[in-house]
Structure 1
Amino acid sequence: MAKNNLNGDSDVSSNCEDDEMVLYKKLSLNVITFRTVRSKDDLEGPPKKGKSFKPEMAHQIFGETEMIFGYKKLAINLFYLHNSAKCYIDVQASGKIPENDACKADDILKTLNPWLPENYRTDKNDFLGDLAVEDHSIMFGDVIHTFPGESDQTYKVTLCDPKNPDFRKFHQRFETLIVWFIDGANFIDLEDPRWTIFYVYEEAPNAHYTPIGFCTVYKFFLYPNGTRPRISQFFVLPTYQKRGIGTKLYSAVYNYLKELPDSGDITVEEPTEIFQKIRDFCDSFSIYKNLEQSGVNISTQNHKQINEFLKKHKICKRQAQRVFDILECLTAHKNGYKEYVKFTEGIRSRIANEIEKETKGSKRLCNLERVGVITEPIDKKAILDAEYNKYVDSLEWPVNRLRAQLAKQ
């Protein structure tokens, strides 16, 4: 599906600017709530903890301002059945602006329509009918990894078949959630056979399954007869985040792709900051353990040996450098302050050399906003300081988590 900015009648609302109009302007992120429904009780009363969450972004749907115009005390509830992801939308407002040629309320359903699951419900009784026939035991795909939860739940990562018509219908419903959480998200073309899709399910003791996240991978052609997998979308429901589930999902996906005989290095399409943290930790931990098991002394900082391991594990060149830096940083912390200073000086020198090699009109200098530096004329020291500080800071989180994980063993 193409990425369109659908603003309803927001352009018209710009003609209605005065103090009274403030009552009719609502930030969509504040008035929209998602709810997961397992039983009729989940439809009633205020949102329940662990079964409801708010969106993080809405600019693809409501435009850059993310505002909805024309309603007082607006509440939009999006209910999703926990297994099938069938949807019901309930829009409530205490009042609507009197309409004329200059002022019109946004058509909420029309604006949301392209971004909601097909055949979504607007009548509660119809949705209750869907709930009555909900099959709580469905789990799509073949299980490739299982791991325990914090209490009596079990989690299963599955490899799904995009050619399965029932899975297609389900995925097309579930994936509608990502536009609220992934910037620039698009719905994938399931007709393209190069897509691979993984899901993670929560299994309750009563054998009820709840899909709680997924990962899509696109397999590019790699000459002469291989593939280069690229992780495209990576999503875990907000109510299941910060439990280590994303880490387990990434590890399961990575290990599966790594073992494919025709697979080249594994890449990622525009990783978010959170995903990059997960990736850094998982890749670094995996390489650390393999180096340790193979008797390679990480503290010797033997670039050639470690790079061979990284190549063997199908980590792409850019990520390989990060993994090596994380392992070096870990070792430097262990060896004391002087070693850490030596390590950071090496990073700074490398970045300085990279900047020096590039011309004034290079991509790096044209993207100063990425590091928060805008200089005229170009100040190479400011660029170096910004890039250095940003990079070193980005290593600290995976290093600290890696150190904490190793301390448990």
Structure 2
Amino acid sequence: MTEMVLKPQEEEWLCNSNEALTIWFLEPSTDPDREFDSVQVFPMFTYSIFGDKEQIYGYKDLEITLKFSSGSFATYFDVRYSDKIPDVSSTSIADNVVDKIKALIPNDYITNYDAFLQTVHEDAYSFKPMGEKITEYRLEEGDDVIYEIYRATFETPRFKEYHKRFQIMILFYIEAGTYIDEDEKWETMLSFEKKRIGDKYTYSFMGFCTMYNYYFYNREKCVNTENCVVIDQINNNKVPISERVNEGKVIPEDIRLRISQFLIFPHVQGKGHGSKLYQTIYKYVLSNSRIKELAVEIPNDSFEAIRDKNDLLYIREQKIFEGLVAPVDKNTIDSIRRKYKLNKRQLLRCLEIELLRKLNKSDAAAYKAYRLQVKERLYNWNKEILKDVDRAERIEKLEETFKGLVEEYQEILLKYN
């Protein structure tokens, strides 16, 4: 919406877009007395559609409805209001809500509700997930409901059209989320619920993770100083797999798989599906010989919690840090990183958490060794910022950051000790 200064009498035409827009998921009901089950949720974000203030101007009692068939994601779109401001001048024109939403959903959206319900009914039993089935699981042993995770790319039959249907969820639930292009190097993991209704199975879409294949250049294979510098630059900047660099002097053989978008839909959150999706991705990475590292674009707090929990549990299960005490030498860290394919920042984070868990804080020498190892990592990570800071201030900033980090680690250990 264009920024404007509203007169008091015009404010009655203003509404919050997060409250005006509702999202519904519909599926056939397991209750014989009810044809459909539906779940209503609200978006977390609409600023990418309606502006930073997340406000819509020009309507009273505005209701924007998006309903999705829970499996096929067939889309119903409807806009209603009790009154609309007259277009009497250029400063009082109502926001074009319909066009804003239409620009973000595929052209096959449905506006007739009866037709939509018929589509929900038909799709419930005809829709099947696309791509390669990677795994299945149950939340409880013996549970009738099965959950399946599939891997797809834009080359996978039916996926390109399916992605166009669900990608609007990125805008609603991932902060600063944007649509991705249809580059062939994107991979997507899709999470589905599979349950029996009568003698048939129906699928409900629960969430997804988009991942991009980047070159991973092995620094140990560089043949001269020039190429070593290029490799460092490429790995730090994460040059995409589709880009050729350095006139072919460095030939990539391996991949860094980077998680970009990770979302479990609101109505199925809190049940462990996010952890199952992340575990599946990590196992896929470990099983693929070309993938040398799993990275994450910009992790938000909720994803970082899932990542920390599952990485720490796996590390303990595999006894990866067994017997290690600070300071841990670089060769040991690099060897672990190569074997378990965690990116360096996450590996060091998990190492520091586990060293703290086993640390005898009454042992002054051991605590000092731990503190110095963490501070060295903090300094190296922030060298460009700290290099121009005088020594006394640098020491103070590192100590302050170290203490804050230890508090964060202790909170994590309280959850996952």
| 1:264 partner SS | strand
Inter-CA distance 175–357: structure 2 relative to 1 (3 Å threshold)? closer
- Please give the TM-score of this superposition, normalised by the length of structure 1: 0.80
In the TM superposition, residue 346 of structure 1 has moved relative to its aligned partner by 4.0
Deviations 1:147-182 (A, max 9, x none): 212664221111224323322211221122111111
Determine whether 1:59 maps to 2:86: no
What code does the residue aligned with 1:62 have? F
Counterpart among 49, 73, 87 of residue 85 in structure 1: 73
Q: Distance in 2 between matches of 1:68 and 1:385?
A: 47
Which residue of the partner structure matches residue 339 of structure 2? 312
Inter-CA distance 196–28: structure 2 relative to 1 (3 Å threshold)? same
Which residue of the partner structure matches residue 248 of structure 2? none
Q: Distance in 1 between matches of 2:298 and 2:139?
A: 29
Inter-CA distance 123–344: structure 2 relative to 1 (3 Å threshold)? farther
Which residue of the partner structure matches residue 352 of structure 2? 325
Q: Distance in 2 between matches of 1:152 and 1:393?
A: 42
Which residue of the partner structure matches residue 311 of structure 2? 283
* Conserved? CA contact 1:24–1:70, under 8 Å: yes
* Conserved? CA contact 1:200–1:249, under 8 Å: yes
Counterpart among 63, 74, 84 of residue 96 in structure 1: 84
Determine whether 1:387 maps to 2:401: yes
In the TM superposition, residue 389 of structure 1 has moved relative to its aligned partner by 4.7
Inter-CA distance 120–347: structure 2 relative to 1 (3 Å threshold)? farther
* Conserved? CA contact 1:202–1:211, under 8 Å: yes
Which residue of the partner structure matches residue 75 of structure 1? 63
| 2:319 partner SS | helix
Cα RMSD (Å): 3.2
* Conserved? CA contact 1:117–1:174, under 8 Å: no
* Conserved? CA contact 2:27–2:124, under 8 Å: no
Inter-CA distance 107–384: structure 2 relative to 1 (3 Å threshold)? same
Inter-CA distance 226–69: structure 2 relative to 1 (3 Å threshold)? same
In the TM superposition, residue 62 of structure 1 has moved relative to its aligned partner by 0.7
Inter-CA distance 357–37: structure 2 relative to 1 (3 Å threshold)? closer
Alignment of 1:171-210 (within 5 A): 171-190=163-182, 192-206=183-197, 207-210=201-204
Counterpart among 25, 38, 61 of residue 14 in structure 2: 25
Q: Distance in 1 between matches of 2:411 and 2:265?
A: 22
In the TM superposition, residue 74 of structure 1 has moved relative to its aligned partner by 1.8
In the TM superposition, residue 60 of structure 1 has moved relative to its aligned partner by 0.8
Which residue of the partner structure matches residue 267 of structure 2? 239
Which residue of the partner structure matches residue 220 of structure 2? none
Q: Distance in 2 between matches of 1:337 and 1:230?
A: 40
Which residue of the partner structure matches residue 133 of structure 2? 143
Which residue of the partner structure matches residue 371 of structure 1? none
Deviations 1:313-368 (A, max 9, x none): 01111111111012112223xx4666896587446643674489545687xx9xxx
In the TM superposition, residue 205 of structure 1 has moved relative to its aligned partner by 3.1
Inter-CA distance 257–278: structure 2 relative to 1 (3 Å threshold)? same
How many equivalent residue pairs?
368
In the TM superposition, residue 385 of structure 1 has moved relative to its aligned partner by 5.7
- Please give the TM-score of this superposition, normalised by the length of structure 2: 0.78
Which residue of the partner structure matches residue 165 of structure 1? 157
Inter-CA distance 114–172: structure 2 relative to 1 (3 Å threshold)? same
Inter-CA distance 270–127: structure 2 relative to 1 (3 Å threshold)? same
| 2:345 partner SS | helix
Inter-CA distance 182–361: structure 2 relative to 1 (3 Å threshold)? farther
Name whichever of 115-124 and 59-68 sits farther off: 115-124
* Conserved? CA contact 2:257–2:294, under 8 Å: yes
* Conserved? CA contact 2:27–2:121, under 8 Å: no
* Conserved? CA contact 1:287–1:310, under 8 Å: no
Deviations 1:266-309 (A, max 9, x none): 111111111112112212221222126xx933568755546533
What code does the residue aligned with 2:146 have? T
Q: Distance in 2 between matches of 1:145 and 1:270?
A: 26
Which residue of the partner structure matches residue 37 of structure 1? 26
| 1:289 partner SS | helix
What code does the residue aligned with 1:387 have? T
Name whichever of 164-173 and 134-143 sits farther off: 134-143
- Show structure 2 runs of 5+ residues with no match: 31-35, 218-251
Identity of aligned residues (%): 25
Inter-CA distance 114–40: structure 2 relative to 1 (3 Å threshold)? farther
Inter-CA distance 122–352: structure 2 relative to 1 (3 Å threshold)? closer
Which residue of the partner structure matches residue 283 of structure 2? 255
In the TM superposition, residue 189 of structure 1 has moved relative to its aligned partner by 2.5
Which residue of the partner structure matches residue 322 of structure 2? 296
Q: Distance in 2 between matches of 1:18 and 1:356?
A: 49
| 1:297 partner SS | coil
Name whichever of 247-256 and 130-139 sits farther off: 130-139
Q: Distance in 2 between matches of 1:90 and 1:157?
A: 31
Q: Distance in 1 between matches of 2:96 and 2:382?
A: 54
- Show structure 1 runs of 5+ residues with no match: 1-6, 42-46, 366-377, 404-409
* Conserved? CA contact 1:351–1:388, under 8 Å: no
| 1:36 partner SS | strand
